[in-house]
Amino acid sequence: MILKKEESSYRAFPSIIEALGLEDRRDVRLCAAGAGGKTTLLKRLAAEYKERGIPVAVTTTTRMYAEEEPRFLLEPSPVKMGEILEREGVVFLGRKDRDGKMKAPEKEWMKDILALPFPVLVEADGSRRLPLKAPGEREPVFPEETTHVVYVYGMGALGRSLGEVCFRPERAAAILGRSVEGLVREEDIALLAGHPLGGRKGVREAWHFTVALTQADLPGGLEAARRISRMTETEVLILGQMKENGDRRA
């Protein structure tokens, strides 16, 4: 499921690339920030680029999981990167870190990555896989070259306490004027999404900003996501379960 709010209606799209209007661009530097699901979103986007025969690099400005599989390169090697792209169509780039994760490439390597002549996808913060997030003082970390920002919120947060489902719940509570024990409401997500200390923190006017409401396949999730999208003037995508292999049911 990929729906996009267009004025008073919702349009279904076969791909996230098309929903974001990225079909004809190779200079895309898209950052995903916010709640859990960012890596899955970026993997789905990468798979869509691969389907189109367009090479794509995925990296992080903070930390993300580094899987033991051949698409991951944890050293600055243009030769190996080229080999992976030739073989896989997608390459994940970073430096080895603790706990099975990778961290941001070294400054010069990141500069080279962001200068590549094809799309680069960036995970720009962490969330401990929770469905709601309020950014910290030093995040998200957006490169200067950013062209698009997608900020993620999960419908699984609704009806549960901020303290249970939100990363940095105290910050979210301060924005919302509520306690961390308060249950998350639809209007809370809408407010966080458009707040300069929430979803729009660090986002420049020149960058294309989109809110992604994920987990819309949960019971009541689609209806809730539609109501939330109507509460904000921001561009909104409503997403169900996302499959990296390009399964159009996602």
The phi and psi torsions of 60 (rounded to 5 degrees) equal: -145, 150
Tens of pLDDT, residues 213-228: 999 999 999 999 999 9
pLDDT greater at residue 248 or residue 151:
151
pLDDT given at position 68: 86
The phi and psi torsions of 112 (rounded to 5 degrees) equal: -65, -40
The strand order across the sheet containing 95-96 reads: 63-65, 101-103, 95-96
CATH 3.40.50 fits 2-60+118-239, yes or no: yes
Tens of pLDDT, residues 67-106: 889 999 999 999 999 999 999 999 999 999 988 889 999 9
- Least confident stretch, 71-75, 114-118, 126-130: 126-130
Q: How much of the chain exceeds pLDDT 70, in percent?
A: 96
Cα 38 to Cα 150: distance, rounded to the nearest angstrom: 9
Tens of pLDDT, residues 39-63: 999 999 999 999 999 999 999 999 9
Q: What does 197-233 look like in DSSP terms, one character per residue?
A: TTTTTT--TTSEEEEEEE-TTSTTHHHHHHHHHHT-S
**Cα 32 to Cα 81, 125, 143, 146, 151, distances in angstroms:** 22, 8, 12, 11, 6
- Model confidence at 248, in pLDDT bands (50, 70, 90)? very low
For residue 244, pLDDT beyond 80: no
Closest by CA to 210, choosing from 15, 34, 26, is: 34
Tens of pLDDT, residues 169-202: 999 999 999 999 999 999 999 999 999 999 999 9
Instruction: Taking residues 24-31, report their average pLDDT.
Output: 95
pLDDT given at position 26: 94
pLDDT given at position 249: 29
pLDDT given at position 36: 86
Phi-psi region of 16 (alpha: psi -120 to 50; beta: other; left: phi over 0): alpha
Domain residues of the chain, as ranges? 2-60+118-239
For residue 247, pLDDT beyond 80: no
- Least confident stretch, 18-22, 65-69, 132-136, 174-178: 65-69
Q: Mutual orientation of helices 186-194 and 221-230 as an angle, nearest 10°?
A: 50
- Token reading at 10: 């919702």
What sign has the CA pseudo-torsion 177, 223, 239, 158?
positive
Instruction: Taking residues 23-42, report their average pLDDT.
Output: 94
For residue 246, pLDDT beyond 60: no
pLDDT given at position 128: 85
Q: Apex CA 179: angle with CA 162 and CA 184, to 5°?
A: 35
Give SS3 for 177. Answer: coil
Give SS3 for 166. Answer: strand
